[in-house]
Amino acid sequence: MAHSLLRRAGQAVVFNAMGNWIGMIGGLVSLVFIARLLSPMDFGVFGMALVTFSIPEIFASGSLNDSIVQRPGLTKGHVNSVFMQSLGLALLFWLGISLLAPAIAAGFSHPELVPILRVFSIVLIIGAATSVPAALLQRDLRYKEITIVDVVGTVSAAAIGIWLAVVLRDAWALVWMEISRRMVRLLMFAWLAKWRPSFKSSWSETHELTRFNSTNLTTKVVQAIGGAVPRVMIGGVLGPAALGMYNMSGRLLEQAKSAFVTPFAAVALPVASQAQNDLPMLFRAIEGAMRLAALVAYPIFIGGSVIAPIAIPVVFGEQWVPAVTTIQVFLLMGLRAPTSAFNTGVLNGVGRVDLNFKLAIVGTVLTAIAVMSTIHIGLEAIAWALLAQLIVSWFLGAYAVKLAIGFPMHRQIIAGSSALIASVIMGFIVWVSMGILPDAWTGFVQILVLIPIGAVTYVATLAALSPRLAKRVVQALFILIQGRPGEALAVARGTS
């Protein structure tokens, strides 16, 4: 049982990684084209719409479906109950936002938001329907199918977004791109999960999910408020251009996390829910996934932060130069992601949603303090303050996991330590190299030179620090090429 679960988890990680990497590439390609065609102001206006929907989406599609993944004994009535509740909440918020759109737009001092809010509100209903079949696939660790959905959704939305950016040249290109992505995901998830909407459920089945759902829902609302606080304050005080730069920084961080951290963290909830009675196995799974995520993510975050002053104007255009420092700080925020990303999934998986709620409250309060104390200084100061807040929140999250399942904090702190040291050395070498490259070289040429320098330095340093680690990674890559993802992850899981 334990071996089978770990093998399926390994396959899920690999398939999820493939989907997220393809999604990241597609997302970055579309983002590069669209960022060159649109302005920070356009991204800021769309960001205001995303802020408006952040909390309603938690109610409609972002939390109730977790109970489908977590519950040991799941019935069709449980599934139908989640769908009905999600759909009812989606319709309620859809109506409310449609009626209040003029007031919301007035609050942002941007009347052009009114039609955007009314049209974009359809994503609430789409999300409510999507959440159930997506959760069914996640519960069964069917990440091959999830990967297919992610790839098709990303590629189709990227093509639509680029075409609309060329034609419209305003925020509406971003609106329709996101709607198209979500619609494709709904149709494909429903088809692959063989799910059809049904309203057959009982009150007892709904009641059985109440405790988990209510706490999980409240937690995610608080987290959404914490995420919305900086955006609302930046948009209201510093203006839509600053908000656009903030959103761009956050988007780059999220895409990097999605490609290099999420594939490992995504299996935390289903694995924890199925292995909560076998803590030694759960510890091995968590620690191994943390180490592997760190091995891939640390050089990406540090390297990206170092070369950002050259890469950002080359890739996105000169209009994004003022956002460079903010982007650098956001990428540094990703250094704790290989460990912190697992905390929420593990706590939910073992049923300790109460601890996640407390962490969300503390995190939101700290975020509000960080933003309010630095917004008079500027966007870069806000980014540094949020980095400090994230470090504090990470320590609290590690302690919560220790309380819940006894997983020692020091094992989280040192997970992937060799990869971190190698990444720091790599970042220093790349930074020194940037200073000695000829000024006559274009930014594009400099990037083509710096990336191989960083890659060679990282691999060589990693091999010197931990030869056993390097050997396992090479073995895992050969096995993966042979088409055995579960076995490859099992070999690499022994890395330290």
- Residue 282 is which amino acid? L
- What is the SS3 assignment for 36? helix
- Predicted confidence at residue 26, as pLDDT, reads 67
* Whole-number pLDDT of residue 496: 43
Share of residues in the chain with pLDDT > 90 (%):
20
Is the pLDDT at 424 greater than 90? The verdict is yes
> In the predicted model, is pLDDT for residue 97 greater than 70?
yes
Side chain identity, residue 172: W
Sign of CA dihedral 277, 412, 369, 331: negative
Q: What is the pTM of this model?
A: 0.67
DSSP letter at 145? Answer: H
In contact, 492 and 472? CB cutoff 8 Å: yes
pLDDT band at 326 (very low <50, low <70, confident <90, very high): very high
Q: Under DSSP, is residue 149 helix (H, G, I), strand (E, B) or coil? A: helix
Write down the pLDDT at residue 1.
Answer: 45
**CB-based contacts of 246, cutoff 8 Å, min separation 6:** 47, 230, 231, 234, 326, 379, 382
Q: Is the pLDDT of residue 495 over 50?
A: no
The answer to whether residue 334 scores a pLDDT higher than 50 is: yes
Helix (H, G, I), strand (E, B) or coil at 466: coil
Q: What is the pLDDT of residue 278?
A: 63
Give yes or no for residue 236 having a pLDDT over 70: yes
**Model pLDDT, residue 53:** 86
Question: What digits encode the pLDDT tens for the residues 122-175?
Answer: 999 998 888 888 888 877 777 778 778 888 888 888 888 888 888 888 888 888
Whether residue 2 is predicted with pLDDT greater than 50 in this model: the reply is no
226 vs 107: CA distance, rounded Å: 19
| Residues 182 and 206 sit within 8 Å (Cβ to Cβ) | no
Vertex 307 angle, CA 367 and 157, to 5°: 70
**Average of per-residue pLDDT across 283-290:** 72
Indicate the range of 8-12, 176-180, 284-288, 336-340 predicted with least confidence.
8-12
Tell me how crowded residue 146 is: count the other CB atoms within 10 A of its CB.
24
Give the pLDDT band of residue 206 (cuts 50, 70, 90).
Answer: confident
* Whole-number Cα distances in Å, 410 to 6, 272, 288, 339, 496: 23, 20, 14, 11, 13
User: What is the structure's pLDDT at 477?
Assistant: 55
Q: Which tens digit of pLDDT belongs to each residue from 49-84?
A: 888 887 788 777 766 777 777 776 777 888 888 888
User: Could you state, in order of their start, the residue ranges of all structural domains in the chain?
Assistant: 1-208, 212-465
Residue 96 banded pLDDT, cuts 50, 70, 90: very high
Helix boundaries (H) for 38-75: 40-61, 66-70
What is the model's pLDDT at position 474?
62
The DSSP code for 318 is G
Question: For the ranges 38-47, 430-439, 452-461, 478-487, which has the lowest average pLDDT?
Answer: 478-487
pLDDT at 297 over 70: yes
**DSSP assignment of 247-272:** HHHHHHHHHHHHHHTHHHHTTHHHHH
| Sign of CA pseudo-dihedral 330, 258, 59, 241 | positive
Q: CB 72: neighbour CB atoms within 10 A?
A: 8
> Measured between alpha carbons, how far is residue 349 from residues 68, 69, 341, 377, 455 in Å?
11, 8, 13, 41, 36
DSSP 8-state code for residue 407: -
CB atoms near residue 449 (< 10 Å) = 15
Model confidence at 374: pLDDT above 90: yes
Helix (H) or strand (E) holding 379: helix 379-405
C-alpha to C-alpha distance for 155 and 489, rounded to whole angstroms: 27
What is the four-CA torsion angle of 90, 92, 98, 99, rounded to 10 degrees?
-170
Mean pLDDT, the chain, rounded, equals: 80
Name the more confident of 293 and 330.
330
Q: Which residue has the higher pLDDT, 365 or 62?
A: 365
* Separation between Cα atoms, residue 78 and residue 334, nearest integer Å: 36
Q: How many CA atoms lie within 13 A of 382 on its CB side?
A: 27
Which is more confidently placed, 327 or 132?
327
What pLDDT, on a 0 to 100 scale, did the predictor assign at position 273? 56
Distance between CA 412 and CA 409 in Å, rounded?
A: 5
Stretch 407-413: mean pLDDT, rounded? 79
User: Would you say residue 369 has pLDDT above 90?
Assistant: yes
